[in-house]
Amino acid sequence: MSDKIREFNAKGINAFRIYLDEIKNGIRNDLPKDFVHKKTLTKELSVSINKGVDDFENKYDMAKYLYQELVVGNPVKNIWSKVGVWSWLSAYYFDLVCPDMDGVRKPGEDYRHILEVSRLGGGWSRFYRHLIASPVRLFAFSLASSRILLSANFYENGDFIEQFASKREYAGNRTIISVLNRMYFDENNNKAKRGAQTKNRPGTHRRYLTILEQLLLNYDIQTMTDDELISLLPDEFNAWLQDPE
Binding site for another protein (CB under 8 A): 118-126, 168-169, 172, 218-224, 228-229
- Find out whether 113 and 134 touch, Cβ atoms under 8 Å: no
Shortest separation between residue 161's beta carbon and another protein, angstroms: 16
In the chain, the largest separation of any two C-alpha atoms, in whole Å, equals 60
CA distance 59 to 11: 29
CB of 169 to another protein, least distance (A): 4
Cβ-based nearer residue to another protein, 100 or 213: 213
Give whichever of 129 and 193 is closer to another protein, judged by the CB atom.
129
State the Cα angle at 134 between 208 and 29, rounded to 5°.
Answer: 120
Phi, psi at residue 29, to the nearest 5°? Answer: -120, 0
- Which of these, 107, 122, 157, lies nearest to 137 by C-alpha position? 157
* Three-state DSSP state, 42: strand
Query: Of the two residues 85 and 221, which places its CB atom closer to another protein in the complex?
Result: 221
Q: How far is the CB of 93 from another protein (least distance, A)?
A: 25
Which CB atom, from 219 or from 237, has the smaller least distance to another protein?
219
What are the two backbone dihedrals, phi and then psi, of residue 98, each rounded to the nearest 5 degrees?
-145, 65
At its nearest, how many Å lie between another protein and the CB of residue 221?
A: 6
